[in-house]
Structure 1
Amino acid sequence: MPDATPAAPDAAGARPVTLDRRDGPYGEIVLRRRPGGAGDEGDIHEIIANGTFLMDTSDGRSERLLIDAAQAALAPDRRDGLPSVLIGGLGVGFSLAHAAADDRWRRIVVVEREQAVIDWHHEGPLARISGAALGDPRTVILHTDLVEYLRAAAEATDEPTDHYDALCLDIDNGPGWTVTDENASLYTPGGLADCLDRLNPGGVLAVWSAQPSPAFEEALRNAGFTGVRTEEIAVARGVPDVVHLAVRPA
């Protein structure tokens, strides 16, 4: 990693420090550290992509909700049969760590397109969150683009593709606030059809968002999902984080 460099002070006056900055096929990705406030465990690390804040280690409640809500929404036969889960986006590792702490998941696959993010978990400060999960034999990390990975199932003709009981996706700030333009296709009818194809019957699609989206709920219904609903979790800034949930018909 390059030498740490200071960034502009945040709203609380603390000066974040840039630990790593890389340019890749999807633009710039940055890992920063800032001092934790009262009640926080150590420093806070945050990920910035192309100048857009993605997530930090200050509060993982909504990332854990992403996993728990998907597990709870599974059809009983899927839930009792040790289901498999695909996590879209490694992020700071909260979702992976929470899934690995639950022995009800039989297989945990994480799709992450940024090599830098994977490195920060294997060799950097984010290992404190994900270290045990990465060592879990159920965990598989795939270094690939989520949109392309999901599309591959629909395009496959002569080779079997993996299917899952739950897709837990957290690669953007929401359907209307994507990190890159390419990600927008995930929330279109074609992208949602790809998600449907990757799910086993009775499986659950869970999508994290920084704000509610009635339009996305309607798009899920139009794509053929049932049981569409949204769970909210309050955050300090006022607008709740949400998890959109939808079920592939059995």
Structure 2
Amino acid sequence: MAPVTPTQATTGLPEAPRTLDRREGPYGEVVLRQRGGPPADPGVEASGAPAVYEIIANGCFLMDTSDGRSERLLIDAALAALPADRARPSVLIGGLGVGFSLARAAQSPRWGRIAVVEREEAVIDWHRTGPLSAVSAAALADPRSEILHTDLVAHLRTRAGQDTYDALCLDIDNGPDWTVTEDNNSLYSPGGLAACRDRLTPGGVLAVWSAQPSPAFEEALRNAGFRGVHTEEIPVVRGVPDVVHLARKGA
């Protein structure tokens, strides 16, 4: 009988993540990793911990499935900021990620169209046919939902004046001050924020997730003509809280 390799359950040491998929795309490397859950190798003892999936982009940790509160807040806060009498509002979610934001939107019968922009084909595959379907399968089957395989910045700029949304919920970086790629910096520039404003209906809401508060970004939102700029926080185990920056387009 082959020996069983010890894991966190027997050693007390943190379990090393297992790489499930690694791909080179037009924007660099994206990796899907797993911690806990059933081991891929039958000779490795199971840790007993539930599976947690992580997305790494160009060596930078983006998000995992361990919590999801701040991704849900992104959707809930945007919906709460919309006028209560707005029937079937539409939402554009920037970044599919691990699927928490999409799943949260699909759980609410109030949303109408739910569009998700995702530029990484690998991430879309991990949801459609991979392990992240555990988070998003029901939402992807919802007739209100659609995935747009494109770059968010390009989508906002090149189609301005055509599709508009009642809410933009953006989560493509670790925040305005910590972008995954340099190209994303333009999203938080005056021109990028103007493109966001142009894609919103009158009174529409912009919600931007960030791993830390950014007073400078709040000021940039005000300078871009947004109203009601404020920040909602989600405490985390260590460090500064995750936040959602919120702003509204004038009526």
TM-score normalised per structure 2: 0.89
**Structure 2 stretches lacking a partner, 5+ long:** 1-11, 38-47
**Structure 1 stretches lacking a partner, 5+ long:** 1-10
Cα deviation for residue 76 of structure 1 reads 3.3
Letter in 2 for 1:166: A
- In the alignment, what sits opposite 1:42? 50
> How many residues get paired?
230
- In the alignment, what sits opposite 2:143? 137
Letter in 1 for 2:107: A
- In the alignment, what sits opposite 1:205? 206
CA distance in structure 1 between the partners assigned to 2:28 and 2:92 by the alignment = 24
- In the alignment, what sits opposite 1:228? 229
CA distance in structure 2 between the partners assigned to 1:145 and 1:240 by the alignment = 28
CA distance in structure 2 between the partners assigned to 1:127 and 1:116 by the alignment = 13
Letter in 1 for 2:82: L
Q: Deviations over 1:49-80 (max 9, x none)?
A: 000000000000000000000000112343xx
CA distance in structure 2 between the partners assigned to 1:41 and 1:247 by the alignment = 42
1:107 aligned onto 2:113 = yes
Alignment counterpart, residue 60 of structure 1, candidates 68, 77, 84: 68
Alignment of 1:147-158 (within 5 A): 147-154=153-160
SS in 2 for 1:76: coil
Cα deviation for residue 236 of structure 1 reads 0.6
Letter in 2 for 1:208: W
Alignment of 1:69-80 (within 5 A): 69-78=77-86
- In the alignment, what sits opposite 2:9? none
Q: Deviations over 1:153-189 (max 9, x none)?
A: 33x6xxxx11000000000000010000000000000
TM-score normalised per structure 1: 0.90
CA contact (8 A) 1:28 1:50 kept: yes
Q: Deviations over 1:69-106 (max 9, x none)?
A: 0000112343xx11000000000000000100000001
Cα deviation for residue 41 of structure 1 reads 7.5
Cα deviation for residue 42 of structure 1 reads 2.1
- In the alignment, what sits opposite 1:118? 124
CA distance in structure 2 between the partners assigned to 1:96 and 1:206 by the alignment = 14
CA contact (8 A) 2:36 2:49 kept: no
4+ long deviations beyond 3 Å: none
CA distance in structure 2 between the partners assigned to 1:227 and 1:220 by the alignment = 10
1:98 aligned onto 2:104 = yes
CA contact (8 A) 1:90 1:117 kept: yes
Letter in 2 for 1:248: K
SS in 2 for 1:245: strand
- In the alignment, what sits opposite 2:245? 244
CA contact (8 A) 1:153 1:197 kept: no
Letter in 1 for 2:222: R
SS in 1 for 2:159: helix
CA contact (8 A) 2:118 2:148 kept: yes
Rg larger for: 2
Letter in 1 for 2:128: H
Cα distance, 1:41–1:168 mapped onto 2, change above 3 Å: farther
Cα deviation for residue 35 of structure 1 reads 1.3
SS in 1 for 2:96: coil
